Amino acid sequence: MLPVYPRLLRRRVAGFWLALGVACLPAAAVLAQDVQGHAMLGFRGLPGLIDMPSAASLADGDVSISLSGFGPVIRTTVGFQLSPRIEGAFRYNSIDGWGGTAGSYYNANFDLRYRLVDPQGWRPSVVVGLQDFVGNGLDSAEYIVATQAIGQHLAVSAGLGWGRLGSHDPLFTTGTRPAPDLDHSGRIDLDQYFRGPVAPFAGVEWQVSDRLTAKAEYSSDAYATEAGVKGAFDRASPWNLGLEYRANQALTLGVYSVYGSQIGFSANMVLNAKSRIAGPLRVSAPETINPRPDRATHPDDWATDWITTPDAASQIREALGKHLERTGIIVESVSFTADTVQVRYRNTKVDAEAQAIGRVARAMSQVLPASVETFRIVPMVRGMPGTQVTIRRTDLEMLEFAPDNAAALRERVAFGPAQDHTPQLSFNPDVYPSLRWSIGPFVRLRLFDDKVPPSADAGLRAEASYEFAPGWIVAGAVTKSVLGGLNASTPDPSPLPPVRRDVALYDTLGDPAVESLTAAWYAQVAPDVYSRVTVGYLERMFGGVSAEVLWRPTGGRWALGAEANYVAQRDPDQGFGFGYYDYQVATGHVSGYYDLGRGYHAELDVGRYLAGDTGATLTLTREFANGWRVGAFATATNVSADDFGDGAFDKGVMLEVPMSWLLGNTSRTHRTITLRPFDRDGGARLAVDGRLYDVLHDYDLSGIDAQWGRVWR
């Protein structure tokens, strides 16, 4: 009789669905593709057969979340189709009964795949992949695989594997491969890639019906350590069989007979970052452009004596405010001449800045006298002006109903530094001071401790910010745990100060906790130069002072910044004390930002980190027009891999999900999820809120351009 593992299954399934809820990814959107030119997911959460990879690909922008397992082996994977050809994944593995005991083994790893050849007719798709390419070697493998569709319902895959995918009945060898080192993980070992024994694997997928798919494969993974050395399960056969059922457009469930001795399962959810799961945004209809009367027949309407009216500024502000208040756009100030009006506004609701600009332009056409030809529209954020957009009123009147009017208008508008080109600004007296607050749930996960199973805590977070003048903000957040229950292991000894490894102590003692309490000043100090100074309790573990300057040339694809901090480590109870550690440090970075085009961005930060180590962090992100962002980062410093501990260096992936994508209503709120294998002291950077590039990005030329198609909506 095949073994069943209800205790393990219940525990892992509960943790999986909790993680899904935190990630805010409900069932809907685009299904992982079937054999008709599409990709089903395997046990490792990437396009595959059962336990072997295939050469199919998900759609560009697909995000996958997968839970799978058999016997004592459980895998949770988050994957992302980074580009049409490149896919990456972050995976967390656990194996119960490690070494025949009641203990467990936990491990996190990263995968990358690249499609070398596109399928066409009888030419198969070909993919090369790196599995756990920065791990301890236990899960590490490389492969090249081809997949060919035969008709509408059948697909065949075959490939060669190295590492653990070359461990069963290899055909030949390509050199010597280092043995797995379970005591040291996270190292990059170029000597192991495509080295060692090479074994074949193959499989077939048959789409029985629209919802049911049958799979069979021959596996080249011998599970030499798990089944052999540790005896965690019996690998009796290389043959695996399975059935997968498409429950709805996002969710696929599977059951399998695995390695001749085990029953396996899978639950795979695939969503697409380009498609809103709640359908089109529910927004109010935009106003029409109010065309001006003919100047020759209505000369009085074009008179300019309105500028001498004593309360002209307040009349303009109030009229614009009435037109825009239902959209969540607040007019902060106006300035004007007879033919030019500048409007500075704060967008509190519209998720696309290009759409907000379009709404402001429409309102200006409704209320401004006919003599005003030039609209200068300036979005404001934290008291700082973003990019100034200059639009001719004539172009708005001419293009409103023209074909492809967004592209046509984009050719005519001008972007420039946000400066006041007209007489002195007249401020809205009702804007400042401004108080915003919220109370809502928080969830804190500990997923990747290599010694204890995943765990979670949930509670309430109260947040407030008080902006008493443009750019002057006092803000804070207080948390109270409700569930508790975060597992924690004893940190490994390290010569570095405990700037991050004691995070479990902060979780335990900080309840309730003053998560942050700061005063900040933001300013535009020159046409393309911005500054920030923040003082107070900057994050959960550190308080002090942080200062930053950013040079962001308008219309450029790059920006340069510098940050300097002097901080002290807070007491673990997250009250107001600093005496527990008596640790102070000066940190700082010089940062370069570059827009690579097509939504791809690169950031390089070079400097000194919280533990006193020096080095650099490289971050690559992809941003979609609807606000989705996905990225990966890696940090290398002068801390050795041995001193860093498990993981060898800091690395991870992040997802930023706009709430408008989930809810279908306009919102500027995002949920950010950062997944890193280990919280270690090396490469740790201060988590201060409101760094300038992040604050201003939506308001620069690339951010506005990415969503310019919504300017008329």
What is the 3 state secondary structure string of 364-418? Answer: HHHHCCCCCCEEEEEEEECCEECCEEEEEHHHHHHHCCCCCHHHHHHCCCEEECC
Please report the pLDDT score of residue 137 as a whole number: 72
Q: Write down the domain spans for the chain.
A: 6-180+200-272, 299-431, 434-703
Q: Can you tell me which residue has the tokens 């209809």? A: 285
* CATH code for the part of the protein at 6-180+200-272: 2.40.160.40
CA–CA distance, 173 with 155 (Å, rounded to integer) = 29
Please report the pLDDT score of residue 626 as a whole number: 77
Please report the pLDDT score of residue 5 as a whole number: 36
In CATH, what class is 299-431?
Answer: alpha beta
Residue 674: pLDDT band with limits 50, 70, 90: confident
pLDDT higher than 70, residue 280:
no
Q: Are the beta carbons of 154 and 197 closer than 8 angstroms?
A: no
pLDDT higher than 50, residue 26:
no
The residue type of 30 is V
Q: Are the folds of 6-180+200-272 and 299-431 the same?
A: no
* CATH code for the part of the protein at 434-703: 2.40.160
What is the 3 state secondary structure string of 415-442? Answer: EECCCCCCCCCEECCCCCCEEEEEEEEE
Give the contacts of 121 (CB within 8 A, at least 6 positions apart): none
Q: Are the beta carbons of 5 and 225 closer than 8 angstroms?
A: no
List b or e across 340-379, with b for residues whose CB sees 16 or more CB atoms inside 10 angstroms. Answer: bbbbbbbbebbbbbbbbbbbbbbbbbebbbbbbbbbbbbb
Nearest to 269 by CA among 247, 295, 241, 240: 247
pLDDT digits (tens, 9 = 90+) for 178-224: 887 766 666 667 778 999 999 999 999 999 999 999 999 999 999 99
What is the 3 state secondary structure string of 615-655? Answer: EEEEEEEEECCCCCEEEEEEEEECCCHHHHCCCCCCEEEEE
- As a whole number, mean pLDDT of residues 17-27 equals 35
CA–CA distance, 24 with 13 (Å, rounded to integer) = 17
Please report the pLDDT score of residue 85 as a whole number: 94
pLDDT higher than 60, residue 54:
yes
- As a whole number, mean pLDDT of residues 473-487 equals 90
pLDDT digits (tens, 9 = 90+) for 639-665: 988 788 766 788 888 888 887 777 777
pLDDT digits (tens, 9 = 90+) for 505-549: 998 899 999 999 999 999 999 989 999 999 999 999 999 999 999
Q: Are the beta carbons of 180 and 136 closer than 8 angstroms?
A: yes
Q: Is the preceding peptide bond at 433 cis, omega within 30 degrees of 0?
A: yes
- As a whole number, mean pLDDT of residues 244-264 equals 94
H or E element, residue 315: helix 312-324
Length of the chain in residues, anyone? 713
Nearest to 627 by CA among 415, 353, 381, 409: 353
Residue 6: pLDDT band with limits 50, 70, 90: very low
